[in-house]
Amino acid sequence: MTDQGLQFPKFYVTAPSPCPYLDGKIERKVFTELKGPDAGALNEALGRVGFRRSQSVVYRPACEGCSECVSVRVRVKDFHPTRSLRRVAKANKDLKSEVKPPVVTDEQYELLSAYLSTRHADGTMADMSADEFRDMVETSPVPTVLVEYRRAIDGKLMAAALTDELSDGLSMIYSFFDTSEATRSIGTYLIFDHIERAKHANQPYVYLGYWVKGSPKMSYKGRFRPLERLGQNGWFEIQDEVGAK
């Protein structure tokens, strides 16, 4: 039992596979299942030491000889948007957002499919079926919501974010969006909007998952400051490892 009275979970390790972020590297993960009445508390406890949720599983990298994946979070109360982030917010001021329960719609799945085919055609989720998407969203063992973003002029669904509601903030699990309007930088805007949501709710953090130094796929996370990373002695602010623009 832990100090909080939680049942200590059983952990497992995945088989080696190619790293999706760094060429030539091999990825392994340690994971455990979230289940039972303590699922929410376990998710939060493990999240604070670098685990991420995916459906009913939480995992963290366990790669031999590599520790480039680090957990990062935005410290909300001290966040001040840069000029470029203010431009992104302005470009998306016509979007109206609404928090929805974690229930999948055909419209969401169509948007997800289009997003995956254009942005992640070679990824592990590229051929995700409607049932798999429903399982990802609707079987969450912890408090989670879908935030929809619609164009005000015609109600078109432009983006959605699957977000866990934690006691100390918001954890962005997965987001997808219309890629046909690249000038919007919608992916960046979704993070900006979540920071604003957390600020209004007086929540201290927005968790962004993992950041990998040197990976172009992760560079956008460095635009949000102050950004904290998890180290051996807890969370500390990143100073000059990532570039803010």
Q: Is residue 186 part of a domain?
A: no
Q: How many CB atoms lie within 10 A of CB 154?
A: 6
CA distance 15 to 103: 32
Q: Are 152 and 95 in contact (CB under 8 A)?
A: yes
Q: Is residue 62 part of a domain?
A: yes
Q: Is residue 202 part of a domain?
A: no
Q: Are 136 and 162 in contact (CB under 8 A)?
A: yes
Q: Is residue 1 part of a domain?
A: no
Q: Is residue 180 part of a domain?
A: no
Q: What does the pLDDT read at residue 2? A: 47
Q: Is residue 85 part of a domain?
A: no
Residues of the chain with confidence (pLDDT) below 50: 1-3, 242-245
Q: Which domain holds residue 65?
A: 12-70
CA distance 204 to 76: 5
Cis peptide before 226 (omega within 30 of 0): yes
- Domains identified in the chain, total number: 1
Q: What does the pLDDT read at residue 121? A: 56
Q: What does the pLDDT read at residue 137? A: 95
Q: What does the pLDDT read at residue 199? A: 97
Q: What does the pLDDT read at residue 244? A: 43
Q: Is residue 120 part of a domain?
A: no
55 Cβ neighbours under 8 A, 6+ residues apart: 135, 136, 139, 140
Task: Pull the structure tokens for residue 32.
Answer: 């455990």
Q: Is residue 223 part of a domain?
A: no
Q: What does the pLDDT read at residue 120? A: 66
Q: How many CB atoms lie within 10 A of CB 57?
A: 16
Task: Look at strands 69-75 and 52-54 and give their pairing.
Answer: unpaired
24 Cβ neighbours under 8 A, 6+ residues apart: none
